[in-house]
Amino acid sequence: MSTLSLENVTYTYKNAPRAAVSGISCKFEEGKVYAIVGPSGSGKSTLLSLLAGLDLPTKGEVAFDGDSLAGLNLDRYRRESISMIFQAFHLFPLMTVMENVCFPMELCGVTPKDAKPRASALLEGVGITKEQMGRFPSKLSGGERQRVAIARSLASNAKIILGDEPTGNLDGANTQNIIDILCSLAHEKDYCVIIVTHDMEVAEAADVALRMRDGELRIA
Ligand SMILES: Nc1ncnc2c1ncn2[C@@H]1O[C@H](COP(=O)(O)OP(=O)(O)O)[C@@H](O)[C@H]1O
Ligand SMILES: [Mg+2]
């Protein structure tokens, strides 16, 4: 199973006048792609960091497969259960594209010999050429870097993928390719994919579209 459930989750930043996330109860199930849309400042990134266990709710509970994150080893949860695709790519600048994708697998104990072909296949899947795999991230365009970040996030075995605007720098064809990859992971391999997006193409392709407003989450 790979399910996240929220029970009356509220998060208030220190000294903030009001909650960034306010009283959210919902369930994110495996096998589905969820899109979250909403204006800037409505709490989307805060919600993702609560789902990723980067912060714990001020009130309420986030549970992974029924276990409250408050009681889990969060380093392990983040390493083994969650993949994050950030708006900023967070690629390691001094590693090649190939090394960037191999690195998280090696952290999880995969040998370099096994990591390389898997990384190569993932990178090819997002349209990165063999020649580009040997480059440093600074020698790629913004869209190419974003696709490398997506391949890297797919390298772990985590079945929950959290994305903050993962297609923000991509053109139509590459956006469609990423949508296809995320939908097939959800529909064929039972991943739970939760994507914050401004992209209507992504929102329309999702199984469930949700809207955030003033810290509250509703079905769109
Ligand atoms: N580190 C922080 N400290 C205080 N307030 C924050 C912090 N991060 C975000 N906020 C506030 O929380 C609210 C929600 O922000 P955020 O989750 O980033 O929204 P979104 O991702 O939808 O743009 C905003 O009012 C924002 O100013
Ligand atoms: Mg944000």
Is pLDDT at 39 greater than 90 in this prediction? yes
pLDDT for 163-217, tens place per residue?
999 888 888 888 998 899 899 999 999 999 999 999 999 999 999 999 999 999 9
Question: Which pLDDT value is given to residue 202?
Answer: 94
Probe residue for ligand 1, chosen from 15, 46, 51, 58 as the CB with the greatest number of ligand atoms within 8 Å: 46
Question: Which pLDDT value is given to residue 2?
Answer: 82
Q: Which of 199 and 108 is assigned the larger pLDDT?
A: 199
Q: Give percent of the chain above pLDDT 90.
A: 81
Q: Which domain holds residue 115?
A: 31-41+73-219
CATH number for the domain spanning 129: value is 3.40.50.300
Probe residue for ligand 1, chosen from 9, 11, 13 as the CB with the greatest number of ligand atoms within 8 Å: 13
Is pLDDT at 116 greater than 90 in this prediction? yes
Q: Is 112 in the pocket of ligand 1 (CB under 6 A)?
A: no
In a domain, 55, yes or no: no
pLDDT for 134-174, tens place per residue?
999 999 998 899 899 989 988 888 999 999 998 888 888 88
In a domain, 148, yes or no: yes
For ligand 1, atom 24, name the residue with the nearest CA: 41
Question: Which pLDDT value is given to residue 88?
Answer: 67
Q: Is 41 in the pocket of ligand 1 (CB under 6 A)?
A: yes
CA of 79 to the centre of ligand 2 (A): 22
Total structural domains within the chain: 1
In a domain, 11, yes or no: no
CA of 45 to the centre of ligand 2 (A): 4
The confidence band for 87, taking pLDDT boundaries of 50, 70 and 90, is low
CA of 84 to the centre of ligand 2 (A): 14
In a domain, 46, yes or no: no
Largest CA distance in the chain: 52
In a domain, 57, yes or no: no
Question: Which pLDDT value is given to residue 24?
Answer: 98
Nearest listed ligand to the Cα of residue 41? 1
In a domain, 25, yes or no: no
In a domain, 96, yes or no: yes
Q: Is 44 in the pocket of ligand 1 (CB under 6 A)?
A: yes
In a domain, 185, yes or no: yes
